[in-house]
Amino acid sequence: MENSNVFALARSEIMMNSSAMLLRLIAICFVAASSGLLAQEAGLIKPKVFRIDQVVKPRIAKMAVPVIRPEIVGVKMVVSSPSPKAREHVRQGFALIHAQWDFEAYRHFCAALKQDPDCMLAYCGVALSLVKPYGEFVSYRNAAVTRMVDLIEADEKALKAGKPARFPRLEKQFAYAIASLVTSSPQTAGAMMKTMAKSYPNILQPKLLGAFLTRGAYDIAGNASSQRVQAIETIGGLLEKHPDNPLVLGFWVSLHAEAPAGIMPIRKEVLPQARKLVKLCPEVPSWHHMLGHYEWRVGNYLLAQRAFTKAAALYESWMKREMVSLNDCEGYIRAKCYLANTHYQRGDFDAAMKVAKELRALKLDPARPASEGNQILLWRAYTLPARLYIARAAEGDLNRAMESLPGAKELEKFLNHPKFPTLAGSFSDTLRAYIGCRKALDNKDLTAAKSLHEKTYQGFVAKIAGVLEGAKRSSDFSHYYRAAGALAVYDMELYGLIAMQQKEVMPVTTANHFRSARDKQITPSMMMPPLVFTHMENRLAEFYLMLGKKKDAYGAYLDALNHYPNNMDSLLGVKACYLAMGQKKHADQIQKHIDLITAEKE
C-alpha cells in the first residue's frame, strides 16, 4: 500500500472517531513505512525490549534538571500524567520547541520521562524536538515514535479488556499526528492537526500547528499562496483573541520570518509582536534572536545589534551554567553570525570582522561530527571572515579572504568521516575559485578570469550539485542547500563582472547577469543571515555608474534599500549618485541619515 494512501485512510479514520481502527491504521502506517525507503534510511525499527535510554541520551540524563521558565508557557493542553513535575516539564518543553530552542526542549521532555516513563506527550515532545531526519539524535527520535505507538497499542488493549484508558483520545490523536510528521510530511501532520482543532476548539496547539505546518509558501514574484493566506488569517485571528499568549505570539512572528520584502508590513504588524514577546519572556535567547531578525529586516541595525548581542550573552550564560558545549548550542554561533552581518550592514566592518575572527578561532569537535554546533562552524563561521573580505574587496582583502578559509588538513577528520562526511570543504574550495577569479579581474587578466570561472568555479559547483540526492540524507543538508544558493548568486555575479570588462558584450546582457544574481538572493531566514553580504542591486548600480547612467544607478540603489533598508553600501551609493547629478543638498540629507545610523544611540 502506498504511504500516501495509508495516511489518507488514517486521516479519514480520525474523523470517524474510532480508537480501535485508529490503532490498526497506526500499525499499518509503520509497517508500510518500514517496508519503504523512508524507514530504511531513518532507522525506524521497533526495538525488541524498550529501555528509557533509547529515548533519553545518557549524557542528557546526567545533566542537572533544566530551569523552569513559567512565563514562556502558552500551552493549555492537558497532560495526562500522575506526576505534576512531568506535566510541568512537558509544558516547558513544548513552549521551548515553539521558541525554536530544541535542545533545551529535549532536556525538559527527558526530565518529564524521568518522572513518568509512560508520559505520552513527553515522547511526542522528544520526537518534535529531534525532528530533523538525519542528525546525531535520530535513533532517540525514532525510539520515541515507536514508544508512542506501543503506549497507544497497550491502551487500546486495556480498553478492550474493560479497563479504563490511561490516555485521552486527544493525546492519542496528537501522538499520531507527530508520528506522521516524522514518517510522512508536515502537510500530512498539519491536516491531522486541523481535524483535531475542529474536535477540540478550545485547545490552541492543534490550531496553531495545523495552520503552520500547512502554511504554503511565496512564489517567485513574492505572492503568497492560498495556504499561506489561510495560515496568516488563522493565526492572526488567534492573536486577536490571545494577544499576550507567548505561544500564539511566537507562531505569528515565526510565520512571517521569510516573507519577501514588501509582502508584509513587518514594521507595523510583526515587529511590535516580536518586541512584546521579548518583554514577556526576557530570558529566552531565541526570542531575542528572532527580534534581531525583524529589526534587521526593517533596517534598525543598532537595535538588531543589541538583540543579537543579548541572545549570544544569554546562550553563553546558559552554556556555562549547564556545562553545555557549542555542540549543543548552535544558537550562540547563529546569533554571532547575524551580529557580524548586522555590523557590516551598519557600516562597521572592523566590528564585523572582530566577531568573525572570534568565531573562526572556535575549535571543531571531531568526537561529534554531526552536531549542530560543528555543522554551523564548518559552513558558516569558518567561511565568515572570507565572505566579509569578499564583500569589502579593499586592497589586499581578496588575499586575506583566501588565507582565512579552512584547508583540507584542518577539516580532514570531517571530510573523510565514515558516517557523517561533510561537503563544507567543497564549499570552501568553491569560494577559493571565486576569489581567484576576482583576483584575475582585478589584474585585468580576462582570459584567466574566464577560465577560473567556467572551468574551476563551475566545476566545483557541478560537483556539489551532483551529490544533491545524497546530501538530502545528510545531517548538514540545510547548510548545503543555503551554500548552494549563495554559490548561484556568486556565479551570476562573476558573469556580470567578467562581462563588464568585455567591450563586445551588450550592456543589457551585463545588466541581466546582475539582475539574475539579485533574483537568486534569498530572503534571510529567521535564524540565519544571508551568506552573501553584497546586495546585487548595488552591483547593478555600480555598472550603471560605469556607463554614466546616473539615474539608473540611483534607481538600482533605491531598489537595494527597499529590500535591505538602511544598508550602508546602498546609502553611500545613493549619496554618490546625488553628487554625480549635482544635487548636493540631497547628498547632504543622505549623509545626515548615515550619521544617524552610525551613531551609538538612536
Over the stretch 219-259, which tens digit does the pLDDT of each residue have? 877 788 999 999 999 999 999 999 999 999 999 999 998 78
Q: How many CA atoms lie within 13 A of 17 on its CB side?
A: 6
Mean pLDDT, residues 391-398 taken together: 97
pLDDT band at 602 (very low <50, low <70, confident <90, very high): very low
Domain boundary among 331, 362, 393: 362
What's the confidence (pLDDT) of residue 526? 67
**Same domain, yes or no, for 155 and 139?**
yes
Task: Tell me if 177 sits within 8 A of 186, measured CB to CB.
Answer: no
Is residue 64 included in any domain, yes or no? yes
Grid cell of 300 as nine digits: 534598525
Task: Tell me if 457 sits within 8 A of 513, measured CB to CB.
Answer: no
How far from 307 is each of 162, 301, 313, 413, 466, CA to CA, in Å?
56, 10, 10, 35, 39
Grid cell of 139 as nine digits: 535513533
The set of residues, in sequence order, having a beta carbon less than 8 Å from that of 308 and lying 6+ positions away, is: 288, 289, 292, 335, 336, 338, 339, 342
**Same domain, yes or no, for 97 and 55?**
yes
What SS3 class is residue 327? helix
CATH code for the domain of 313: 1.25.40.10
Buried b (16+ CB within 10 A) or exposed e, 66-89: beebeebbbbebebbbeeeebbbb
Please report which helix (H) or strand (E) contains residue 458, including its range: helix 458-465
**Same domain, yes or no, for 296 and 389?**
no
**Same domain, yes or no, for 570 and 585?**
yes
pLDDT band at 147 (very low <50, low <70, confident <90, very high): very high
Is residue 371 included in any domain, yes or no? no
Rounded distance between C-alpha atoms, residue 440 and residue 221, angstroms: 35
- 187-196, 381-390, 535-544, 592-601: which range is least confident on average? 592-601
Q: Is 29 left (phi over 0), alpha (psi -120 to 50) or beta?
A: alpha
Grid cell of 267 as nine digits: 514594521
Task: Tell me if 328 sits within 8 A of 365, measured CB to CB.
Answer: no
pLDDT band at 264 (very low <50, low <70, confident <90, very high): low
**Same domain, yes or no, for 422 and 521?**
yes
Mean pLDDT, residues 39-63 taken together: 75
**Same domain, yes or no, for 248 and 286?**
no
**Same domain, yes or no, for 150 and 165?**
yes
Domain count along the chain? 4
**Same domain, yes or no, for 397 and 521?**
yes
Mean pLDDT, residues 338-362 taken together: 97
Rounded distance between C-alpha atoms, residue 368 and residue 354, angstroms: 27
Is residue 367 included in any domain, yes or no? no
**Same domain, yes or no, for 208 and 280?**
no
**Same domain, yes or no, for 105 and 244?**
yes
Nearest CA to 274 among 100, 150, 155, 79? 100
**Same domain, yes or no, for 443 and 570?**
no
Q: What is the DSSP letter of 67?
A: P
**Same domain, yes or no, for 222 and 238?**
yes
Predicted TM-score (pTM) above 0.85? yes
Is residue 293 included in any domain, yes or no? yes
Domain that holds residue 292: 259-362
